[in-house]
Amino acid sequence: MQDPDRTILITGATSGLGRAVAESLAARGGRLILHGRDPARLQDVAAELQPLNASIDFVTADLSDLSQVDEMAEQIFELTDHLNVLVNNAGLGKGASDHRETSSDGHELRLAINHLAPFALTFRLLPLLETGAPSRIVNVASGAQEPIDFDDPHLTEGYTGNRAYAQSKFAMVAAGFQLANRLPAEVITVNSLHPATLMPTRMVREGYGHTVDDLDTGVDAVLRLIESAALEDVTGQYFSIQQPAQAHPQTYDPDVQQRLWDLTEKLTGIQF
């Protein structure tokens, strides 16, 4: 059984990979804070996990709306005085079509949900992660990565769902590298991963119509970044499943990282 005081927040915990990770962790005990967009789905998760060992709280927010991200952070501060792990798992895939969508804040939707929201949430929760130190930030990214078009980050021209998805995950990884450089590893580590290839989730079925890896592959990869003692001081890394890997070359470029960081601060209204 895990330390009952260990507190883990998982976004996107009502389906797919996030729900499966939550189930695995709940069976081990400790405390979980699980995020979802749909209250009804959160109730389903609550009913399913209630017999297990963990203490579980739930928070609701639509991550396409940055004001709701802020509200969710406030809810989390009311629930706990510390976090030991933040798993930025919630995400939006390429979609079933190449129809461009925007968030309520006017941002390209995949950039908003897959990058801007976890960036903003992470920033808001840093005080809780510092209190819970040594703590970990785990960014569930993807092997699909494409550099940001800084002249058109919202892809008003040349939009495709694949391009939008890959650009948003590139942003998540590159910003994670930059954040890791800004935080002492003995306090908070920041790592990103490609958990598995085309797992059997709704997002994958909608976008691709077929699967490759099973869900357990992704769960085990995420759990390793959450729990492995061998990764205690490892930060600023990218993993493919359970192996250290190379992200897109431009994610390591300091100039690209800084331009992305400046753009992200501008779009979220956050100053680190």
Residue 163 domain-assigned? yes
The 10s digit of each residue's pLDDT in 29-47 is 899 999 999 999 999 998 8
The 10s digit of each residue's pLDDT in 205-215 is 565 564 665 78
pLDDT value of residue 1 = 45
pLDDT value of residue 105 = 97
For 90, 236, 249, the CA distances from 34, given in Å and listed in that order, are 11, 25, 33
For 141, 168, 177, 178, the CA distances from 110, given in Å and listed in that order, are 12, 6, 20, 21
How many folded domains does the chain comprise?
A: 1
Asked if residues 193 and 133 have their Cβ atoms less than 8 Å apart, the reply is no
In terms of pTM, does the model score above 0.75? yes
CA 254 to chain centroid: 22
Residue 131 domain-assigned? yes
Residue 1 domain-assigned? no
- Residue percentage of the chain with pLDDT more than 70: 93
Residue 237 domain-assigned? yes
Location of structure tokens 């797919």: 16
Residue 99 domain-assigned? yes
Residue 46 domain-assigned? yes
Q: Calculate mean pLDDT across residues 84-89.
A: 98
Residue 66 domain boundaries: 7-268
Residue 223 domain-assigned? yes
Residue 2 domain-assigned? no
CATH number for 222: 3.40.50.720
pLDDT band, residue 71 (cuts 50/70/90)? very high
The 10s digit of each residue's pLDDT in 97-137 is 899 999 999 999 999 999 999 999 999 999 999 999 999 99
Give the active site residues.
165
